[in-house]
């Protein structure tokens, strides 16, 4: 009897279960069903008593429910269950979660799971007493499922919060997990019902079952459903369409499901596989969290080749604690083997083999670090003239610039990339610039203040000529290799002592130069625009990822975006900002977006990610308003828009204009340096360009003009 | 009847040209062209795909073209009413209405109406002749052979100078494989590869780079004839071309095909400003490359275009461009002896409008009379393409002239429709240089 009692206890447990999730009772509580129960329960009970079996009302009701009001089958089932079940039950209890998962999948495919074997056993025993015909199999298996939740219930015990966390993890190993059915929905035809058990709920069902409180955001879930990766479903409730309808009716009567909803929300937060938009009001959230945030900025490091940009940044990261001394020691050792020990710090930024071998940065490197006062993203641009396109890509993602000048080699840069980079920094719209006068320790005499003053004067003039404002320029004397005045001020005893009296360290200067994010809210509320800077494999779970800086609008997990010019759509699966997973990202942030529903071949660096509702349309030809730096004719040119680099042809010199944009001369035959003009440019293919976009025109490896799209 | 001496030294091509492998050039089988009037015909035999390009430049609408044709003939037997199809080989003479040139395949399709009695096709019936290699065709000019046509014919049948080279213009993630001949730059394949950026702790970039090289190398081998390797030019900004050369060397070392090794000494590595095709221009005109690849007609043309651009940049009033300005300069005799050069794209001579062609033939003739140099640039070369963007014609004058562009507003307006016309022409893909480049791009993506 002890055992029977045990069973009864289980039954109660099951009952509780139903109460808690309020589903079974939902449909059963309908009037018609209740009357059927009232009618049939006594009949079954009488039969059971005849056979000497005890059962609670609830158990009988369950059995009836699941056998579709078939008294005979219910009786068989109840008898059956009360008699031989204890041994297998213990086994079940001992089962690990993996076994359960395996069972479930085996069941799904109709394989010979342990439970199925049990069912077989029972069926044989039941065959003697059964009045039911050959069709019992299916009903029995269906009924078997009724007993299943007990196992999991017992294992997972009362912590209902813990459950959702565990299940998705298990489910990830099964590509198509069926919602585990503790209590099958009302079967109209048992055989037909089976597939129903496994069918995932419809979009409608989901909407109803998961967003009963704020019933909005219908579109995103619909897509998420199509993906089939929806994991937030609690295994204990897999509502069939019928269930849902009934539940909806129930809900309309005022019964709240908020408890489940809460659990589900928790669930969806804990699993990345869920691609459901939370429907966040991002601009509002962004504003709310403003107080909590540290100021953040991305700065591009520019300057002539070999002036020590990468080394200075390596030093900055090392001294700021973003890179461990151990790593640097390792680089030092490796670099020494290649007789390039002075490049060790640069290797923090230059990760490519070829870059290290040649000691030249090829592509801009990206690195984050934080100080107590601010979050920074370094964009370490290459200084070599052949890599200017990559520098433009880096600069277009930055909020400000750090210009590195070799105090001893000023001349080379003034003619070369120091000058060109300054122009380009201005052309992509950067305003603030910190000038790091580097390699002062190698000067003769070391830390010569005169030399610094002289360099400062020269560079300042160049910057002012390039239309940078006086107050936006800061000068920092420093040494990247030695590390003086980068993060730590030089010692008072050193020849560089004069530095700390009048100048900030590089880091302090950076912290003081962070430009305010102007008109934050306004930009964030605009449609999403983000240029893809990199297409990469973000890991096993994120096969397709892109990186870039959001230029306007915002994006959140679950959003559907479109990529131009390919026109393909993608869903945002996850977002990383500053190497941390986030729910959303806004304009001005550099982020990685992990995508699903798109192939990598539709993504190229330079493509534009746009909001679905307001895509940017590609254009084959545009009119540009440019400031001319080199003489231009109608001729083939390279057009750079951030990371985008396309060949184009100047098809017409429309007019030269004055400062206000008034026409000076129509159809000039030549554009001279220093002029301002409108030109018509045609592309080979269509290029997604927004009005006002900053454009750089280069020809034969020289920056010839910069301007904006009209 | 005095005939033109077509075997005389090419009078327009003054630069010294090196004779290479005996070239298979268009053969002039027979010609009867009257010196005075230009009336007459020429029988030619194209022997290689590039000859189709010459044919394309020679044949104009309204010309009479006689070539072998295959025609499907449907015969209906009177009694039973049954029909039978038959492909009949015949020779047709058509009056040309339209030309269609496919540079990738090197095929020329000429449509027109049958102009000579034929047992199979009725007079006036439409037919499209596909000119074939090794088959003679006869061309008779309706308006007579003008000087430009004769020059083209000479050039086509010129047995000298036959330079060809393969070029790969590349940058990280992009490679343009093209064949550069005397008259054409044919983009054979464009390989685009999406490379992930470098990031700490990941070797994806290096791996993709290797894959990109591999794809480029494979495609290159598919295109080039290893048995008879031509010079191979690798050009890129920075180090990509050098890396690719290393890759080819490594592949040659492990390859079982000995011929790949023979390719190695033919490789030249050069710097270009970008990986896009239009950078080919500056590469081919750079001294490092011209020395190695010896002379080509193309190099001389590129030099002239460069000189022109240089003069323009220095605002030297000896350089002018645009149809109106150039014509005016020629009229005033400024393009004459002592450095006068007329650069003109052969696209202008292919104009559907007979008037346009006549106008430029007159212009060319008048420059020659004045003793100036005339360069007909192929619109399928990058130098020609640069010229196309200037309106197809440019001049270097012997003395500076000012205000050639200062004309009455009315005249400017008059020019408007023509430039629109030019634009339309461009839309056909002909005036923009490498024809067919859009249709034949092959993009290979990594995943």
B318 close to A (CB below 8 A): no
Across the interface, whether the CB atoms of B199 and A638 are under 8 A apart is answered: no
Cα distance from A599 to chain B (closest Cα, Å)? 8
> Between B196, B271, B312, which is nearest A537 by CB?
B196
Block residue for tokens 């813990």: A162
pLDDT at B326: 87
- What backbone phi and psi angles, to 5 degrees, belong to A128? -65, -45
Percent of chain A whose predicted confidence (pLDDT) is above 90? 15
Residue A554 CA to residue A557 CA, distance in Å, equals: 11
Nearest neighbour of B445 by CB, restricted to A353, A600, A699: A600
Helix (H) or strand (E) holding A571: strand A568-577
Average pLDDT, chain B: 77
Tell me if B197 and A351 make a contact (CB, 8 A cut-off).
no
Indicate yes or no: CB of A601 within 8 angstroms of CB of B445. yes
Strands B27-33 and B40-45: antiparallel
**What's the whole-number mean pLDDT along residues A253-267?**
47
Q: Is B247 within 8 Å of chain A by CB?
A: no
| Closest Cβ opposite residue B438 in set A354, A537, A684 | A684
- Walk across the sheet containing B232-236 and list its strands: B185-192, B174-180, B165-171, B232-236, B267-271
State yes or no: pLDDT of A90 exceeds 50.
no
Q: Would you say residue B408 has pLDDT above 80?
A: no
Alpha carbon B146 to its chain's center: 20
Q: How far is CA A633 from the centre of its chain?
A: 45
pLDDT in the model for residue A82: 66
pLDDT for B215? 92
- Among the residue ranges A210-224, A312-326, A505-519, the one predicted with the least confidence is A210-224
pLDDT tens, residue by residue, A5-52: 444 444 444 444 444 444 444 455 566 677 777 777 777 777 777 766
Residue of A nearest to B443 (CA): A601
- Do B276 and A647 lie within an 8 Å CB cutoff? yes
Put simply, whether B412 touches A (Cβ < 8 Å) is yes
Name every residue whose Cβ is closer than 8 Å to that of residue A403 and which is 6 or more positions away in sequence.
A302, A303, A418, A421, A422, A425, A433, A434, A435, A436, A459, A463
Bridging pattern class, strands A544-552 and A618-628: unpaired
Residues 117-146 of B with CB under 8 A from A: none
CB-CB under 8 Å, B312 with A631: yes
Lowest mean pLDDT among A136-150, A483-497, B256-270: A136-150
> At residue B245, does pLDDT exceed 90?
yes
Contact A631 B386 (CB under 8 A): no
pLDDT tops 70 at residue B431:
no
Tokens of B303: 């030099």
- pLDDT tens for A633-684 read 888 899 999 888 899 999 889 999 988 878 888 888 888 888 899 999 999 8
pLDDT at B376 over 50: yes
Whole-number pLDDT of residue A446: 82
Report yes or no: B111 at the A interface, CB cutoff 8 Å. no
pLDDT value of position A262: 47
Answer whether B420 touches A (CB < 8 Å): no
Tally Cβ neighbours within 10 Å of residue A616.
20
Q: What is the pLDDT of residue A246?
A: 62
Shortest alpha-carbon distance between residue B267 and chain A (Å) = 22
Q: Is the model more confident about A157 or about B321? A: B321
Reported as a pLDDT band with limits 50, 70 and 90, residue A116 is low
- Output the pLDDT for position A257: 46
Higher pLDDT: B98 or A114? It is B98
Nearest alpha-carbon partner for B171 in A704, A605, A636: A605
B302 touching chain A per CB within 8 A: no
Query: Which of A139, A107, A108 has its CA nearest to residue A126?
Result: A139
CB-based contact, B243 to chain A, within 8 Å: yes
ipTM beyond cut 0.90: no
Query: What was the pLDDT predicted at A443?
Result: 82
Instruction: Answer for the pair B114, B94: CB distance below 8 angstroms, yes or no.
Output: yes
Of A605, A633, A634, the CB nearest to B194: A605
Higher pLDDT: A550 or A240? It is A550
The more confident residue out of B300 and B342 is B342
> Is some CB atom of chain A closer than 8 A to the CB atom of B440?
no
Q: Among B192, B389, B446, whose Cβ lies nearest the Cβ of A635?
A: B389
Q: Does A636 touch chain B if contact means CB atoms closer than 8 Å? A: yes
Which pLDDT score, from 0 to 100, does residue A682 have?
Answer: 92
Interface touch B320/A384, C-beta < 8 Å: no
* B213 conformational bin, left if phi > 0, alpha if psi -120 to 50, beta if neither: alpha
The pLDDT confidence band at residue B413, using thresholds 50, 70 and 90, is: very low
Min distance A109 CA to chain B CA atoms (Å)? 33
More confident residue, A421 or B151: A421
Closest residue in A to B278 (Cα–Cα) = A636
Output the pLDDT for position A58: 77
The answer to whether the Cα torsion of A548, A550, A556, A562 is positive or negative is negative
pLDDT digits (tens, 9 = 90+) for B72-87: 888 777 777 778 888 8
- pLDDT given for residue A663 in this prediction: 84
Which residues in chain B touch residue A636, judged by CB atoms under 8 angstroms apart? 278, 382, 385-386, 389
Q: Is A324 on the interface with B (CB under 8 A)?
A: no
**Arithmetic mean of pLDDT, A459-463:** 91
Cβ pairs bridging A and B (under 8 Å): 115
- pLDDT tens-place string over residues B205-214: 888 889 999 9
Say if residue B156's pLDDT is above 60: yes
Stretch B15-36: mean pLDDT, rounded? 60
Rg (CA), chain A: 35
User: Which residues 445-464 of A are in CB contact (within 8 Å) with B?
Assistant: none
Q: Residue range A353-375: average pLDDT?
A: 86
Contact A633 B204 (CB under 8 A): no
Q: Is A358 on the interface with B (CB under 8 A)?
A: yes
Confidence band, pLDDT 50/70/90 cuts, at residue B124 = confident
Q: For residue B14, what pLDDT is reported?
A: 36
The CA distance from B251 to the nearest CA of chain A, in Å, is 19
User: Above 60 in pLDDT, residue B218?
Assistant: yes
Which of B197, B316, B401, B410 to mutate against chain A (most A CBs within 10 Å)? B197
Residues A562 and A543 sit within 8 Å (Cβ to Cβ): no
Whether pLDDT at A150 is above 50: no
Q: pLDDT over 90 for what percent of chain B? A: 9
Q: How far is B151 from chain A (nearest CA, A)?
A: 28
**Which pLDDT score is estimated for A709?**
92
Better-predicted residue by pLDDT, A630 or A1: A630
Report the range of poorest mean pLDDT among A152-161, A648-657, A664-673, B245-254: A152-161
Q: pLDDT higher for A431 or A495?
A: A431
Alpha carbons within 13 A on the beta-carbon side of A195? 1
Cβ-defined contact of B389 to A354 (cutoff 8 Å): no
**pLDDT band for position B11 (50/70/90)?**
very low
- Asked if the Cβ–Cβ distance from B447 to A601 is below 8 Å, we say yes
pLDDT band at A159 (very low <50, low <70, confident <90, very high): very low
A603 and B CB contact within 8 Å: yes
Say if residue A423's pLDDT is above 80: yes
> Minimal Cα distance from B237: which residue of A?
A386
* Cβ of residue B282 closer than 8 Å to a chain A Cβ: yes
Alpha carbon of B234: minimum distance to chain A alpha carbons (Å)? 16
> Quick check: B121 pLDDT over 90?
no
Q: Do B276 and A638 touch (CB under 8 A)?
A: yes
Contact yes or no for B194 and A362 at CB 8 A: no
As a whole number, mean pLDDT of residues A693-705 equals: 90
Measured between beta carbons, the chain A residues lying within 8 angstroms of B198 are: 351-352, 355, 362-363, 365
pLDDT in tens, B385-394: 888 888 888 8
Q: Is B417 exposed, middle or buried (0-12, 13-18, 19+ CB in 10 A)?
A: exposed
- Residue A193: both structure tokens together: 């019902």
Q: Choose among A387, A536, A603: nearest Cβ to B197.
A: A536
Nearest-CA distance A699 → chain B (Å) = 8
- Whether residue A669 and residue B405 make contact (CB cut-off 8 A), yes or no, is yes
Q: What is the DSSP letter of B311?
A: H
Q: How many CA atoms lie within 13 A of A523 on its CB side?
A: 15
User: What residues of A are in contact with residue B205 (Cβ under 8 Å)?
Assistant: 352
For residue A203, the model assigns a pLDDT of 64
Q: Hey, which residues 368-397 in chain B have their CB within 8 Å of chain A?
A: 382, 385-386, 389-391
> In this predicted structure, what is the pLDDT of residue A695?
93
Strand order in the sheet with B40-45: B27-33, B40-45, B137-140, B64-76, B83-102, B107-114, B126-130
Burial class (CB in 10 A: 0-12, 13-18, 19+), A558: buried
How far away is chain A from the Cα of B95, in angstroms, using its nearest Cα?
Answer: 35
Nearest Cα residue to B13 out of B228, B159, B120: B159
Q: What is the mean pLDDT of residues A301-319?
A: 90
pLDDT value at A402 more than 90: yes
Phi, psi of B396 (to 5 degrees): -110, 120
B131 in Cβ contact with B139 (< 8 Å): no
Q: Which of residues 132-151 of A touch B (CB under 8 A)?
A: none
CA distance A299 to A276: 34
pLDDT attached to residue A89: 46
**pLDDT above 80: residue A191:** no
Per-residue pLDDT tens over the stretch A583-634: 888 888 889 999 988 888 888 888 999 998 888 888 899 999 999 998 888 8
pLDDT at residue B197 is higher than 90: no
B239 CB within 8 Å of a chain A CB: yes
Question: Which pLDDT does position A127 carry in this prediction?
Answer: 65
Q: pLDDT value at position B3?
A: 47
In whole angstroms, give the CA distance from residue A217 to residue A229.
18
- What is the C-alpha to C-alpha distance for residues B325 and B306, in angstroms, rounded to an integer? 19
């Amino acid at each position: 009897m002890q055992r029977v009692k045990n069973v009864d206890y289980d039954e109660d447990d099951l009952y509780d279960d139903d109460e808690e999730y309020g589903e079974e009772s939902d449909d059963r509580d309908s009037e018609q069903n209740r009357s059927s129960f009232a009618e049939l329960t006594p009949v079954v009970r009488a039969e059971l008593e005849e056979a000497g079996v005890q059962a609670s009302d609830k158990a009988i009701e369950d059995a009836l429910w699941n056998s579709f009001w078939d008294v005979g089958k219910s009786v068989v089932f109840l008898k059956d269950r009360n008699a031989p079940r204890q041994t297998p039950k213990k086994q079940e209890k001992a089962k690990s979660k993996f076994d359960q998962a395996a069972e479930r999948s085996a069941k799904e495919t109709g394989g010979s799971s342990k439970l199925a074997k049990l069912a077989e056993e029972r069926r044989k025993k039941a065959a003697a007493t059964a009045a039911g015909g050959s069709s019992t199999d299916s009903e029995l298996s269906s009924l078997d499922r009724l007993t299943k939740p007990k196992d999991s219930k017992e294992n997972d015990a009362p912590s209902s919060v813990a459950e959702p966390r565990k299940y998705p993890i298990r489910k990830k190993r099964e590509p198509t997990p069926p919602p585990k059915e503790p209590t099958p929905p009302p079967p109209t035809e048992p055989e037909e019902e089976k597939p129903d058990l496994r069918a995932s709920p419809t979009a409608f069902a989901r909407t109803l079952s998961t967003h009963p409180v704020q019933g909005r955001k219908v579109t995103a879930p619909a897509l998420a459903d199509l993906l089939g990766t929806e994991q937030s479903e609690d295994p204990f409730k897999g509502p069939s369409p019928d269930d849902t309808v009934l539940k909806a009716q129930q809900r309309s009567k005022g019964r709240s499901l908020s408890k489940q909803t809460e659990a589900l929300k928790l669930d969806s937060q804990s699993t990345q596989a869920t691609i459901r938009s939370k429907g966040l009001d991002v601009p509002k959230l962004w504003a709310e969290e403003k107080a909590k945030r540290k100021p953040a900025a991305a700065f591009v490091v520019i300057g002539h080749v070999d002036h020590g940009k990468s080394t200075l940044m390596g030093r900055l990261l090392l001294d700021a604690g973003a890179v461990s001394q151990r790593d640097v020691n390792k680089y030092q050792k490796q670099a020494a083997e290649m007789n390039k020990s002075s490049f060790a710090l640069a290797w923090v930024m230059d990760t490519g083999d070829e870059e290290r071998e040649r000691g030249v940065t090829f592509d801009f490197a990206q690195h984050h670090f934080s100080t107590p006062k601010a979050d920074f993203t370094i964009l370490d641009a290459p200084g070599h003239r052949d890599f200017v396109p990559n520098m433009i890509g880096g600069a277009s993602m930055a909020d400000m610039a750090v210009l590195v000048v070799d105090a001893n080699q000023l001349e080379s840069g003034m003619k070369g990339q120091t000058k060109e980079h300054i122009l380009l920094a201005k052309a992509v719209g950067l305003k603030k610039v910190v000038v790091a006068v580097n390699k002062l320790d190698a000067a003769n005499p070391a830390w010569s203040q005169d030399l610094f003053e002289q360099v400062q004067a020269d560079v300042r003039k160049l910057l002012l000529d390039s239309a940078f404002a006086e107050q936006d320029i800061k000068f920092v004397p420093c040494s990247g290799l030695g590390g003086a005045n980068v993060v730590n001020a030089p010692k008072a005893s050193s020849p560089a002592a004069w530095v700390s009296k009048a100048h900030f360290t590089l880091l302090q200067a950076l912290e003081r130069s962070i430009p305010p994010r102007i008109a934050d809210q306004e930009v964030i509320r605009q449609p999403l625009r983000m240029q893809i800077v990199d297409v990469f494999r973000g890991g096993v779970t994120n096969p397709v990822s892109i990186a870039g800086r959001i230029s306007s609008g915002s994006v959140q997990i679950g959003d559907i975006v479109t990529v131009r010019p390919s026109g393909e759509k993608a869903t945002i699966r996850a977002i990383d900002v500053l190497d941390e997973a986030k729910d959303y990202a806004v304009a001005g942030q550099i982020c990685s977006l992990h995508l699903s529903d798109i192939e990598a071949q539709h993504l190229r660096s330079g493509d534009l990610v746009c909001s679905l509702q307001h895509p940017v349309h590609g254009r084959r030809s545009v009119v540009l308003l440019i400031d001319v730096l080199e003489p231009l004719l109608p001729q083939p040119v390279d057009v750079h828009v951030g990371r985008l680099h396309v060949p184009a042809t100047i098809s017409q010199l429309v007019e030269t204009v004055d400062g206000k944009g008034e026409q000076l001369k129509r159809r000039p035959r030549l554009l001279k340096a220093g002029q301002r003009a409108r030109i018509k440019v045609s592309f080979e293919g269509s290029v997604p360009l927004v009005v006002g976009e900053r454009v750089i025109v280069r020809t034969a490896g020289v920056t010839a003009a910069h301007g904006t799209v009209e | 009847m005095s005939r033109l001496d077509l075997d005389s030294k090419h009078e327009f091509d003054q630069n010294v040209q090196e004779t290479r492998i005996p070239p298979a050039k268009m053969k002039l089988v027979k010609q009867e062209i009257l010196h005075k009037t230009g009336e007459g015909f020429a029988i030619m035999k194209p022997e290689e795909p590039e000859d189709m390009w010459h044919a394309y430049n020679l044949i104009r609408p309204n010309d009479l073209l006689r070539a072998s044709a295959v025609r499907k003939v449907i015969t209906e037997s009177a009694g039973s009413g049954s029909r039978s199809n038959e492909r009949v080989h015949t020779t047709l003479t058509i009056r040309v209405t339209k030309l269609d040139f496919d540079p990738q395949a090197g095929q020329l399709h000429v449509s027109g109406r049958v102009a000579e009695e034929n047992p199979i096709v009725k007079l006036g019936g439409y037919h499209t002749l596909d000119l074939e290699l090794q088959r003679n065709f006869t061309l008779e000019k309706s308006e007579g052979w003008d000087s430009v046509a004769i020059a083209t014919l000479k050039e086509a049948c010129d047995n000298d100078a036959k330079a060809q080279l393969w070029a790969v213009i590349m940058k990280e993630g992009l490679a343009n494989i093209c064949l550069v001949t005397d008259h054409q730059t044919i983009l054979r394949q464009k390989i685009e590869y999406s490379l992930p950026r470098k990031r700490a702790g990941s070797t994806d970039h290096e791996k993709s780079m290797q894959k990109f090289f591999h794809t480029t190398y494979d495609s290159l081998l598919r295109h080039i004839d290893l048995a008879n390797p031509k010079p191979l030019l690798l050009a890129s900004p920075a180090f990509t071309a050098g890396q690719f050369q290393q890759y080819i060397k490594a592949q040659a070392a492990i390859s079982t095909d000995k011929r790949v090794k023979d390719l190695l000494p033919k490789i030249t590595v050069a710097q270009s400003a970008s990986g896009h095709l239009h950078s080919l221009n500056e590469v081919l005109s750079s001294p490092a490359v011209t020395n190695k690849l010896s002379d080509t007609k193309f190099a001389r043309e590129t030099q002239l275009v460069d000189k022109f651009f240089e003069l323009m940049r220095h605002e030297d009033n000896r350089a002018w461009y645009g149809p109106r300005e150039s014509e005016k300069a020629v009229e005033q005799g400024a393009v004459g002896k002592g450095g006068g050069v007329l650069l003109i794209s052969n696209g202008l001579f292919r104009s559907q409008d007979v008037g346009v062609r006549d106008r430029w033939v007159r212009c060319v003739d008048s420059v020659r009379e004045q003793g100036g140099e005339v360069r007909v640039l192929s619109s399928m070369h990058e130098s020609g393409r640069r010229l196309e963007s200037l309106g197809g014609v440019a001049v270097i004058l012997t003395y500076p002239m000012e205000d050639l562009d200062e004309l009455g507003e009315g005249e400017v307006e008059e020019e408007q429709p023509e430039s629109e016309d030019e634009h339309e022409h461009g839309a056909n893909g002909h005036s923009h240089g490498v024809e067919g480049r859009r249709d034949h791009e092959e993009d290979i993506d990594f995943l």
